[in-house]
Amino acid sequence: MRPDLFEHPDYYLLDELLTDEHKLVRDATRDWVKRDVSPIIEEYAQNAEFPQQIVKGLAEIGAFGPYIPSEYGGAGLDQISYGLMMQEIERGDSGVRSTCSVQSSLVMYPIYAYGNEEQRMKYLPKLASGEWLGSFGLTEPNFGSNPGGMVTNFKDMGDHYLLNGAKMWISNAPFCHVAVVWAKNEEGRIHGLIVERGMEGFTTPETHNKWSLRASATGELVFDNVKVPKENLLPNKSGLGAPLGCLDSARFGIAWGAIGAAMDCYDTALRYSKERIQFDKPIGAFQLQQKKLAEMITEITKAQLLTFRLGQLKNEGRATTAQISMAKRNNVDMALTIARDARQMLGGMGITGDYPIMRHMMNLESVVTYEGTHDIHLLITGMDVTGIPAFK
Amino acid sequence: MKILVCISHVPDTTAKINFTAGGAALDPNGVQFVINPYDEFGLTKALHLKEKHGGQVTVITFGDATVEATLRKALAIGADDAVRLDGVPTDPMQVAGELAAYAKDQGFDLIICGQESIDYNGGIVPGALAALMNLPFVNACIGLEVDGSNAQLLREIDGGKEQISAALPIVIGGKKGLVEESELRIPNMRGIMTARTKPLAVTPLSGSAALTAASGFTKPAAKAAVQLIDSSNLDELVRRLHEEAKVI
Ligand SMILES: Cc1cc2nc3c(=O)[nH]c(=O)nc-3n(C[C@H](O)[C@H](O)[C@H](O)COP(=O)(O)OP(=O)(O)OC[C@H]3O[C@@H](n4cnc5c(N)ncnc54)[C@H](O)[C@@H]3O)c2cc1C
Ligand SMILES: Cc1cc2nc3c(=O)[nH]c(=O)nc-3n(C[C@H](O)[C@H](O)[C@H](O)COP(=O)(O)OP(=O)(O)OC[C@H]3O[C@@H](n4cnc5c(N)ncnc54)[C@H](O)[C@@H]3O)c2cc1C
């Protein structure tokens, strides 16, 4: 890939709404992405390989659990800082951002929010330092958008639980040391269990041949009579609301992350449009190309305002699930549209790995599906405004 | 070991520079400021020395409140405390005078400056500071090790290097070579968080006078666009090199 010359657009001077600390968080993350992600990511994505060294780097920069309190190894930063980090990391690659989202919001967050003190002390510092990588098992082969129907289950065997079932499409699964797994007890209530690699009957086959998130590892979690110690049950929350609470946190990060991917596509297309000459003019001089660029920067700016306000609400503990759904849905769709337009603006060059656009575009096809599909988020908004669920 | 790192807060090299006040002052609007790159090498070296020998790294900048973001970044990278000399510097002798007034009673073993600051490129502050404090001075410093009360230094000279030894305390004007680019540190989130509670003292000026005043700046003429002449048209190329560029 070419040298990473990225400069972020800031059409409405949003930097003025950020604190010096926010800007330091963002710029430091960007410096890290430019140094350690951009130069290698294209090759790993082309080879469909997970860049293992990135785990250590993400841990060093503090991307695992940035908002988890420092006594558990996190950085204790606010939600806007978390969002800005996700923006910068996804600007590099959605797959790398996915690794962070899973570790921070889907593994560390439930252990922090629903776990007891022993569980927090046992797992969080090792997850923050990257010594352990975690995964989050909710989706099953027959239950994607409808996770409440899950069949993975556990039985109380007196001194331990016996876990059976399988999870599918699980990010980080092939390399994870621990998995936060959602399963039903004998009464059919959903609980979170911490399953560790090495437990007998627990395997994690990798999912191959993805055209999307190729630099992130995806796989299955298979439980065949796995004996899970009783102290591995997350005690402080159960029911479908527990995993959905984690998803709120991850989707918040995705809403910011998508802006990063969109900015990278816009920045690349804008630069290219000034350099590429056709009919004796830079292509940026043609109205059709200007329309694309103008619409891109308009949509990026709107998305930035949406997430900034959402970040304020989240800092105050007031962001609702429906508000987060709206931002996730809007921003990922916005990023996909921008990626497609930006790709066209680069002509044939746009399909090559010399530029990041095609990789972003393919990655975003996963992002628009995972953590609640584009349709499901619309139904959440619909339910929120009418009071009538239309899922079934 | 007590180390003082003097940090100049400068526009990023990619910033588009404009002037206000009838062309006599830099317009900071839309300009991203960074730690002067020469000073970043010095800061990183100071942290290496602290990690090896123990001690305290203080960073100092003479500037208004806008420079605090740069000082916080230095704290996030690992400096222990920061000082802001509260004022707007306009001249290198004034900067050196204020730095000397602050540093003279503090017992620093090592004062690390950059060889020059990439904004006004004066290259005056470190030497003037050493002179005002009556301390040894090594400029263009590309290597520095401390043993006991002595420093072993390397200085870049035309086409080679000079080895120097000097007793501490000493002032240096440093550059790349003190550490390599790959050793520069990106602040991590825990560093940023701890920087919140590290001391940043705002100190009034001692009253050093500026000896010069800038009355105007001129930007270099914009680079003309490159003109491509087709390889089948060599006569045209020769004509233009001869008649327009007048190089042949
Ligand atoms: C790369 C990748 C990584 C992933 N990582 C994880 C992970 O780490 N952990 C995890 O638990 N899961 C993960 N997932 C799974 C992801 O969350 C699911 O794919 C997603 O929830 C959709 O489920 P599904 O694929 O079964 O699609 P389905 O639910 O089968 O949906 C198929 C289509 O039907 C539509 N649809 C479904 N229900 C309705 C309805 N009621 N009304 C209208 N339309 C409907 C959907 O919008 C979609 O278009 C990952 C997925 C991918 C692709
Ligand atoms: C014409 C003019 C206008 C200026 N206008 C402004 C202004 O509007 N706002 C403003 O903030 N500054 C202003 N400055 C000050 C400028 O930013 C420098 O701080 C000062 O002039 C020294 O510049 P120099 O290029 O001579 O430094 P050099 O001698 O090249 O710097 C060498 C080293 O000295 C140290 N050093 C230099 N400056 C400082 C400092 N301020 N604090 C701590 N250490 C330092 C650093 O270690 C640096 O690497 C102005 C300077 C000039 C000459």
DSSP string, B178-239: SS-GGG--PPPHHHHHHHTTS-EEEE----PPP--------PPPPPPPP----TT-HHHHHH
Task: Report which residue type is found at A319.
Answer: A
Closest-lying ligand 1 atom to the alpha carbon of residue A243: 11
Which of B7, B95, B208 is the pocket-test mutation for ligand 2 (most atoms within 8 Å of CB)?
Answer: B95
A231 is an active site residue: no
Q: How far is CA B161 from CA A97, A188, B142, B143, B147, in A?
A: 46, 76, 9, 10, 20
Cα gap A262→A296, rounded to integer Å: 8
Find the mean pLDDT for residues A25-40: 97
CA A225/CA A228 separation, integer angstroms: 9
Interface predicted TM-score (ipTM) of this complex, two decimals:
0.88
Place of tokens 């405004």: A385
In angstroms, rounded to a whole number, what is the distance separating the alpha carbons of residues B57 and B47?
Answer: 7
Which residue is listed with tokens 């940023």? B192
Single out the residue of A247, A125, A250, A259 nearest to residue A192, CA to CA.
A247
Peptide bond into A243 cis (omega under 30): no
**Cβ B31 under 6 angstroms from ligand 2:** no
| Residue B17: predicted pLDDT | 87
Pick from B14, B187, B190: CB nearest A24: B187
3-class secondary-structure state, position A176: coil
What average pLDDT does range B187-209 have in this prediction?
A: 95
| Chain A residues touching B76 at Cβ < 8 A | 24, 28
Polymer length in residues for chain B: 248
The Cβ of residue A377 has, within 10 Å, a number of other Cβ atoms equal to 23
Q: Are A323 and A310 in contact (CB under 8 A)?
A: yes
Residues of B in contact with A7 (CB under 8 A): 14
- The one catalytic residue in A90, A140, A220, A371 is A371
Q: Which of A28-37, A242-251, B224-233 has the lowest mean pLDDT?
A: B224-233
Q: How far is CA B216 from CA B19, B95, B210, B212, B222, in A?
A: 9, 20, 16, 12, 18
For residue B174 the two structure tokens come to 């440093």
State residue A219's pLDDT score. Answer: 98
The rounded radius of gyration (Å) of the Cα atoms in chain B is 22
pLDDT band at residue A2 using 50, 70 and 90 as cut-offs? confident
Give the tokens for residue B133: 């404090």
Smallest CA-to-CA distance from A152 within A225, A250, A245, A203 is with A225
Per-residue confidence (pLDDT) for residue B160, from 0 to 100: 94
Is B189 in contact with A24 (Cβ distance < 8 A)?
Answer: no
Buried/exposed A115-146: b ≥16 CB within 10 Å, e otherwise? beeebbebbbbbbbebebbbbbbbbbeebbee
R_g of chain A computed on alpha carbons: 21
Distance (Å) from the C-alpha of residue A294 to the closest C-alpha of chain B? 21
Smallest Cα distance from B70 to chain A, Å: 9
Q: CA–CA separation, A380 vs A95, rounded Å?
A: 26
pLDDT of residue B25: 86
Q: Quote the pTM value.
A: 0.91
Sort B119 into a burial class: Cβ within 10 Å, 0-12 / 13-18 / 19+. Answer: middle
Which has the closest alpha carbon to B185: B42, B58, B32? Answer: B42
Ligand 2: centre distance to CA B127 (Å): 13
When comparing pLDDT for B233 and B45, which is higher?
A: B45
Mutate to test the pocket of ligand 2, among B58, B59, B125, B178 (most ligand atoms within 8 A of CB): B125
Q: For residue B223, is pLDDT > 80?
A: no
Q: Given pLDDT bands bounded at 50, 70 and 90, which one contains residue B219?
A: confident
| Inter-chain residue contact A21 with B196, CB threshold 8 Å | yes
In this predicted structure, the answer to whether residue A334 has a pLDDT above a threshold of 80 is: yes
> Residue A19, Cβ neighbours under 10 Å: how many?
12
**A66-79 mean pLDDT:** 94
Of the candidates A31, A70, A85, which has its C-beta nearest B193's C-beta? A70
Task: Find the helix or strand (DSSP H, E) in which B172 lies.
Answer: strand B170-174
- B216 CB burial (10 A radius; 0-12, 13-18, 19+): exposed
User: Closest residue (by CA) to atom 33 of ligand 2?
Assistant: B114
How much is the pLDDT for A22? 97
CA distances from A249 to A67, A290, A310, A320, A332 (A): 11, 36, 12, 11, 16
For B190, which residue in chain A has the nearest alpha carbon?
A: A75
Name A181's bridge partners: A137, A193
Render pLDDT for B1-49 as a digit per residue (tens, 0 to 9).
999 999 999 999 888 888 988 888 888 888 889 999 999 999 999 999 9
Q: How confident is the model at residue A350 (pLDDT cuts 50, 70, 90)?
A: very high
Which residue CA neighbors atom 26 of ligand 1 most closely? A144
Residues 6+ apart with CB under 8 A from B133: B100, B103, B104, B111, B171
Q: Could you tell me the fold of the domain covering A241-386? A: Butyryl-CoA Dehydrogenase, subunit A; domain 3 (1.20.140)
Judged by DSSP in three states, B54 sits in coil
Evaluate whether B167 touches B183 at the Cβ level (below 8 Å): no
The average pLDDT across A367-386 equals: 97
Cα gap A229→A160, rounded to integer Å:
5
Nearest chain A residue to B182 by CA distance is: A35
C-alpha distance from B143 to closest chain A C-alpha (Å): 25
Task: Classify domain A134-232 by CATH architecture.
Answer: Beta Barrel (2.40)
Q: Please check the confidence at residue B231 and state whether its pLDDT lies above 90.
A: no
Q: How far A29 CA lies from chain B's nearest CA (Å)?
A: 8
The span from the CA of B158 to the CA of B168, in Å, is 26
> What is the band of A302 on the pLDDT scale with cuts at 50, 70, 90?
very high
Other C-beta atoms closer than 10 Å to the C-beta of B128 total 20
Using CA positions, which residue lies closest to atom 12 of ligand 1?
Answer: A139
Minimum distance, in Å, between the CA of residue B69 and any CA atom of chain A? 6
Q: What pLDDT shows up at residue B78?
A: 97
Q: Are B186 and A32 in contact (CB < 8 Å)? A: yes
User: Average pLDDT, whole number, for chain A?
Assistant: 97
Percent of chain A beyond pLDDT 70? Answer: 100
Q: Give the residue among A248, A271, A230 at the shortest CA–CA distance from A82.
A: A248
Mean pLDDT to the nearest integer, A217-236? 98
Q: Do A75 and B69 touch (CB under 8 A)?
A: no
Q: pLDDT tier at A326 (50, 70, 90 boundaries)? A: very high
Band of the pLDDT at B220, cuts 50, 70, 90? confident
Domain boundaries, chain A: 14-128, 134-232, 241-386
The total of other beta-carbon atoms located within 10 Å of residue A277's CB is 11
Q: Tell me if A63 and B193 make a contact (CB, 8 A cut-off).
A: no
Best residue for ligand 2 mutational test, from B5, B43, B90, B98 (most atoms within 8 Å of Cβ)? B90
Bridge partners (DSSP) of residue A282 are A277
A25: chain B residues, CB-CB within 8 Å: 189, 192
Other CB atoms within 10 Å distance of the CB of residue A34: 18
pLDDT for B16 equals 85
Residue in the structure block whose two tokens are 């993350």:
A29
> Has residue A309 got a pLDDT over 90?
yes
Average pLDDT over residues B176-192: 96
Judged by CB atoms closer than 8 Å, whether chains meet at A28 and B187 is answered as yes
For chain B, list the domains and their CATH numbers.
Answer: 2-219 (3.40.50.620)
Q: To which CATH superfamily is domain A14-128 assigned?
A: Acyl-CoA dehydrogenase/oxidase, N-terminal domain (1.10.540.10)
Nearest by CB to A20, from B69, B186, B189: name it: B69
From the CA of A176, the nearest ligand is 1
Instruction: Give the mean pLDDT of A134-141.
Output: 98
Residue B103 contacts residue B111 (beta carbons within 8 Å): yes
Q: Average pLDDT of B188-201?
A: 95
Closest C-alpha to A112, from A173, A156, A66, A153: A66
| Ligand 1 lining (C-beta closer than 6 Å) | A 102, 136-139, 144-145, 169-171, 213, 218, 366, 369-371, 373, 375-376, 391
Query: Which of A3-7, A325-329, B52-56, B167-171 comes out lowest in average pLDDT?
Result: A3-7
pLDDT at B224 over 80: no
